[in-house]
Amino acid sequence: MKRLKISLLLIISSIVIWSLMQVNVYGESFSRSIINQVGETKTYNGFYMSGSTYNNNGTVKVSKGFDLSTNSDFINNGELTATGNFPTNPFETFGISGGCSLKNTGTMRLSGYYNFGIYGTFENTGKLFLSNIENVSCYGLNNTGMIV
């Protein structure tokens, strides 16, 4: 009986540790480090990342919200297109929480967001295209690239 309890405890603790090492991107589960290779295209119906790093070397297309929270890092060396649905849905946001970072050395196209908040770090050394953006708060933006 004691061995069964210890075995059960080990199984439960392993499941808890494994679940903490996962990140959900609107229903998709990834390990702590996500790499999108050159030539790959990923499409997400909303993007929420918590406690992980996403390294994009290919193409990422996001519709609806884009949110980085809780020590997340998104590194864009390829192409990132994030499209909200403002003014139809004013609740779709583009946000980078404190403690998080987004680094763009590639090309980013962001449009259709009512709330555009950067409270973490957003470093742009690439090309950043913005359109149809409202309520901008960019405390963490560092731009040495091009913003159109």
Q: What's the pLDDT score for residue 28? A: 52
Q: What's the pLDDT score for residue 135? A: 83
Q: What's the pLDDT score for residue 18? A: 42
Residue 107 has what DSSP assignment? E
> Rounded to whole angstroms, how far apart are CA atoms 111 and 94?
9
Q: What's the pLDDT score for residue 129? A: 95
Q: What's the pLDDT score for residue 88? A: 74
Q: Report pTM.
A: 0.78
pLDDT in tens, 61-87: 998 889 888 889 999 999 999 998 877
Q: What's the pLDDT score for residue 143? A: 92
Low pLDDT (below 70) residues in the chain? 1-32, 90
Which tokens in the block code for residue 59? 């193409």
Q: What's the pLDDT score for residue 22? A: 43
Which tokens in the block code for residue 111? 């449009």
Residue 24, CA distances (Å) to 19, 33, 46 in order: 10, 12, 11
Q: What's the pLDDT score for residue 60? A: 96
